[in-house]
Structure 1
Amino acid sequence: MLTAGLIHYALNLLHISVHIRDVCVFLPPVFSGLTSISTFLLTRELWNQGAGLLAACFIAIVPGYISRSVAGSFDNEGIAIFGLQFTYYLWGSAWGGYVFIINLIPLHVFVLLLMQRFSKKVYIAYSTFYIIGLILSMQIPFVGFQPIRTSEHMAAAGVFVLLQVYAFLQYLKDRLTRQKFQTLFFLGVSLAAGVFFLAVIYLTCTGYIAPWSGRFYSLWDTGYAKIHIPIIASVSEHQPTTWVSFFCDLHILVCTFPAGLWFCIKSIYDERVFVALYAISAVYFAGVMVRLMLTLTPVVCVLSAVAFSRVFEHYLGDDAKKQSPPAEESSDEEDRKNPGNLYDKAGKVRKHVSEQEKAEDGLGPNMKSIVTMLMLMLLMINAYSSPSVVLASYNHDGSRNILDDFREAYYWLWQNANEHATVMSWWDYGYQIAGMANRTTLVDNNTWNNSHIALVGKAMSSNESAAYKIMRSLDVDYVLIIFGGVIGYSGDDINKFLWMVRIAEGEHPKDIRESDYFILQGEFRVDKAGSPTLINCLMYKMSYYRFGEMQLDFRTPPGFDRTRNAKIGNKDIKLKYLEEAFTSEHWLVRIYKVKKLENRDRMENNLGSTDSSHQKFTSKKTAKRKRGFVKNKLVLKKGKKVTKKSLY
């Protein structure tokens, strides 16, 4: 939002009239172009210019990044990957995932110290990065004092302190004997690490430093969120990544980037230590959580480009080898002292002209052409990812079928629901309903309010009568659900239903228990053998209402759920407090209207207007409570102990 606001302000300052909506819509594509440039710069620094061009092409078309950089995808990730890549090129800052960056860069410095690769360049770079980055990040109101008061940032601070101690000891190295220096070095590093560790523990115990968050624990213990924070575990982006997801998001690059990692490790130096750490850590985190595939995508593009570049150099570089490479200035003092043994960006020893002119045995030109063509064919496999609102399926004859049920349902809400109507749905669709239907939702994709989401989950998990009381208390007018039993859509609310139960059970354990929705054998079934609690709950009734009358084809009986591959257990569902308002063409989105019972409204009106005796009784009771409250306030002023019972 800050970036979009600054761009809008700058354009208007230059008298370029642009609506803020247009800035927001085109912000991700613009920054995706900048991401390609930053990826080129980073890869060129790690390997060579050819690999940089390949990496820029990969990041431009890889599905793992395109899904977050299309026009209209106004979210943090739209500019975050540019910030991430440019951070790794210049050491800067990025989005909420900056915790990954602010720990990866210190890890790189720490590993360099262990490898005895300390230099003035490392000291100046990290000290500048940490101090300036810390000060600038704290100027953002949303960040505030988090960089010095949260546990996620303590590793960066610890490495900063360690680097200062290490640099000071290196300064004393030339002024002390070897034995004295070794003793001082051991004591100094141990004392600095111990003092910092104890200080962090003390500040954490006293509350000055926030402890590790549940989201952090869920990265290391995959079962932590499911037990302690089910709302985090219920998010589809927080599920472990499958091999299919790896291939769909990265395509052939998932097979080639290990080769690029091997080439970097084979001829290692400081910058390649960083990319190796980045690749190893990103692979682990992406395997734990689907969402973190976004952080893996850039390094996969970089290392795959290195692999392809290395292969092309080997099979197409015969003519180039006969020419003398241009002399490049080395950044290391030792290399300058030994110009006969310099390394280029690819980690290969620079040979003298006489050595380069020697003929090398290799494959014939035909085999080289075949290998080159195969590599080019692999590069053509990458494809775009599909949008999430408009779905597509393929018929038996290969023709494509567009499923536009989401927009169809949101348009119906926009046209038919009162502008002040409140829609209850699972939080996954909250932003879409608010943005595309322009109607108020109870919960949305901002999942910080766990108790409110749990209340919606309780309503979906309860029977119709209990759910109606909750909906009336929340002034719900419509209920929207996603049902995929007709077309075989696996991402519907029945498949998400157990997460609704678990989140509701966390807040309301007396009313909702997950075990009630399973049969004795521990299975979750929607057929006639299913749990009575499940078959009578609101979500089951709304999903399968009138579905028992539908026969999808001649091979299956009426009421056959294609997603669960089962015939539903209750085909004759009756609704008492809800009425069907809209069902999309493919039954993907179903909307129900909450009834306002006439006899109940009349009873409430009568109680409010005609029952004078009830009003008198209520007023006397209220007055009595007020007198008791005033009396208890006086007792408190006298300093006497007041029990909870006396307050009532």
Structure 2
Amino acid sequence: MGRYSYRLFTSYTVFYILGLVLSMQIPFVGFQPIRTSEHMAASGVFALVMAAGAFNYIQTRITKAEFKFIFIFATLVTSGIVLLAVVGLTWAGVIAPWSGRFYSLWDTTYAKIHIPIIASVSEHQPTTWFSFFFDLHILVCVFPAGLWYCIQEYNDERLFVVLYALSAVYFAGVMVRLMLTLTPAVCILGGIAFSKIFENYLKEETPPVINNSTKLIEDKQSVKDKTPSKSSQTAAGKSKKKPPTVVSTNGDCSNGEGVGSNIRSIVTISMLLVLMMFVVHCTWVTSNAYSSPSIVLASFSSDGSRQILDDFREAYYWLSQNTDNDARIMSWWDYGYQIAGMANRTTLVDNNTWNNSHIALVGKAMSSTEPKAYEIMTSLDVDYVLVIFGGVIGYSGDDINKFLWMVRIAEGEHPKEIRESDYFTDRGEFRIDSGGSQTMLNCLMYKLSYYRFGDLKLDFRTPAGFDRTRNAVIGNQNFDLTYLEEAYTTEHWLVRIYRVKKPDEFNRPRIPVSERKIRNPGASAVSKKSARKKKGTIYGKPVVVKGKKPKSTSTYTSASGML
């Protein structure tokens, strides 16, 4: 493009080196900026800028023919060396290959098919139009105007903003979490658009000034008009006097009249009102959507009163006070950080979703029947199981609504044992009522969520066991737990905690007498000791006479010697 300059070389090299060094100071990041394939593009641009700077310097020292030979030879050799180095380091494991999140940016269906754990994260879902307006408000409509102004009068800085904005719009549409990368460009372009609007409608218009040359032309024209010719007399009624040319003091020549003061006032006030609404909206979104904690839930009743649901904190406090310090909690990964931070207990999986196989094992336990799940929990040394249930209060973010993602993730690692189709009806419906599949009605997640729920009647209008979130009566109501027992349920049944029984204490099934096995079937219940052995004897017992010294016998002596 021919836009290389020393400013570009200095700015990018300084930015890349400082950004690389500072990012590596974060313990969680470490050496990832130089050991992951996603960051190789930035390193490649840095190498190109350095190469362009070197060629620009060499070009001033040698002839054109020599520079052409050196340029072609150095480009081919350097490209081959870099390509072989990257491929070799990737094959050796030094540089990590592209992750599933990277592929999901270019193919939106990749994660759902190959890595369901990525698609299950709410931040990885495509951005809706509601989210765009909710986060950007009026800037959604304004920033394209700022983009057009930058394209019309572009330079190096504006070209960077244009490219950044176009790429950020695409990535923000793929994943909702990438809205963070779009907001800087939108704010810049929105500011440019508002600046142009106020520049056109807030400037003071001076009265027009008639140029001296215009006056001279008018004088000559008036003289000619006073002495008309014959031809001019015939066309006297048809000819019109031309208006004088008007020159404004700011140097801008306009053939039409300027914008009236009333229109300028209306436009200015309208833009100010829009900006005030934008400030109010941003303040409300920040205070309600992005600043409210996810631990304590707030809702409003029909009369407008505010109700606080403190079930999460209540459950985590119970765990910290009533469980051992080394207790292991099995729950879905969404609550891992909360349990570790507020209850100070170890969890099997947490929000760091890099270990897909371990999360799939927890999903398999939740998707299996109680006996099979107990085998998995015993192998993982699980002490308690925590589930989130919103059927009582109508909370839509509970584990039953997330259950299909558990099944999909488990199926990816254990396709022979877990199949998603088994949890749907013959008509392809996911139901929890009597019409649901038997696999769904007997899995561990279903039983832990709806245990004792069939006996609960919420109000007089709905029958017992009515799920307010799914708007249905549960299909499996009368069941008992064999390998787990209910340890704690919060006030609104939002969090339910179960203790996993140890192998020596859970309710074992009764074995018939005919099927019982005895270790020594021929053993007698009578002791083998004889009457003599039971009584015992003393060899060489001396005869004791009162008042006389007992006489020792040979037998007694020999017995004493033996002792």
Compute the TM-score of the two structures, normalised by the length of structure 1: 0.63
Are 1:364 and 2:261 an aligned pair? yes
Distance in 2 of aligned mates of 1:549 and 1:476:
28
1:459 to 365, 370, 390: 365
Distance in 1 of aligned mates of 2:370 and 2:46:
59
2:487 to 547, 572, 581: 581
Aligned to 2:277: 378
Contact 2:138 2:274 in 1 (8 A): no
| Larger displacement relative to structure 2 (408-417 or 215-224) | 408-417
Counterparts of residues 126-145 of structure 1 (less than 5 Å) = 126-131=12-17, 133-134=19-20, 145=31
Aligned to 2:138: 252
Distance in 1 of aligned mates of 2:303 and 2:141:
32
Contact 1:489 1:563 in 2 (8 A): yes
Distance in 2 of aligned mates of 1:400 and 1:287:
35
Shift of 1:538: 0.8
Total equivalences in the alignment: 463
Aligned to 2:180: 294
Contact 1:414 1:437 in 2 (8 A): yes
Shift of 1:489: 2.0
Contact 1:544 1:573 in 2 (8 A): no
Shift of 1:461: 0.8
Aligned to 1:355: 251
Contact 1:434 1:441 in 2 (8 A): yes
Are 1:474 and 2:380 an aligned pair? yes
Shift of 1:533: 0.6
Shift of 1:465: 1.6
1:195-251: CA deviation from partner (whole Å, max 9, x where unpaired): 544553454345453321222112212222223222222222222222233333333
Are 1:406 and 2:292 an aligned pair? no
2:428 to 512, 522, 526: 522
| Larger displacement relative to structure 2 (134-143 or 542-551) | 134-143
Are 1:211 and 2:97 an aligned pair? yes
Distance in 2 of aligned mates of 1:506 and 1:321:
76
| 1:544/1:320 CA distance change after superposition, 3 Å | farther
Aligned to 2:397: 491
Are 1:269 and 2:175 an aligned pair? no
| Larger displacement relative to structure 2 (185-194 or 376-385) | 185-194
| 1:566/1:321 CA distance change after superposition, 3 Å | farther
| 1:172/1:250 CA distance change after superposition, 3 Å | same
Structure 1 residues without counterparts, runs of 5 or longer: 1-113, 323-351, 604-610, 614-648
| 1:214/1:599 CA distance change after superposition, 3 Å | closer
Amino acid across the alignment from 1:240: P
Are 1:119 and 2:119 an aligned pair? no
Shift of 1:494: 0.9
Distance in 2 of aligned mates of 1:275 and 1:476:
53
Contact 1:315 1:372 in 2 (8 A): no
Amino acid across the alignment from 1:448: W
Contact 1:166 1:189 in 2 (8 A): no
Are 1:282 and 2:164 an aligned pair? no
Amino acid across the alignment from 2:431: R
Contact 1:158 1:196 in 2 (8 A): no
- RMSD of Structure 2 on Structure 1 (CA): 3.6
Shift of 1:375: 2.0
Amino acid across the alignment from 2:171: F
Counterparts of residues 192-207 of structure 1 (less than 5 Å) = 192-193=78-79, 196-197=82-83, 199-207=85-93
Compute the TM-score of the two structures, normalised by the length of structure 2: 0.72
Contact 1:462 1:537 in 2 (8 A): yes
Distance in 2 of aligned mates of 1:530 and 1:189:
65
Distance in 1 of aligned mates of 2:503 and 2:78:
71
Counterparts of residues 563-574 of structure 1 (less than 5 Å) = 563-574=469-480
| 1:287/1:551 CA distance change after superposition, 3 Å | farther
Distance in 2 of aligned mates of 1:442 and 1:134:
33
Amino acid across the alignment from 2:5: S
Distance in 1 of aligned mates of 2:321 and 2:16:
53
| 1:245/1:314 CA distance change after superposition, 3 Å | same
Shift of 1:136: 5.9
Contact 1:123 1:167 in 2 (8 A): yes
Shift of 1:144: 5.5
1:2-42: CA deviation from partner (whole Å, max 9, x where unpaired): xxxxxxxxxxxxxxxxxxxxxxxxxxxxxxxxxxxxxxxxx
Aligned to 1:84: none
| Larger displacement relative to structure 2 (531-540 or 591-600) | 591-600
| 1:251/1:153 CA distance change after superposition, 3 Å | same
Distance in 2 of aligned mates of 1:585 and 1:141:
40
Distance in 2 of aligned mates of 1:468 and 1:591:
15
Shift of 1:319: 7.8
Contact 1:459 1:471 in 2 (8 A): yes
Which structure: greater helix fraction? 1
Shift of 1:537: 0.4
1:170 to 56, 60, 71: 56
Q: Which has the higher contact order (CA 8 A, sep 6+)?
A: 1
Distance in 2 of aligned mates of 1:571 and 1:144:
51
Aligned to 2:349: 443
| Larger displacement relative to structure 2 (536-545 or 160-169) | 160-169
Distance in 2 of aligned mates of 1:128 and 1:200:
24
Distance in 2 of aligned mates of 1:282 and 1:436:
36
Distance in 2 of aligned mates of 1:600 and 1:554:
37
Are 1:543 and 2:449 an aligned pair? yes
1:491-525: CA deviation from partner (whole Å, max 9, x where unpaired): 11111111211222233333222221122232222
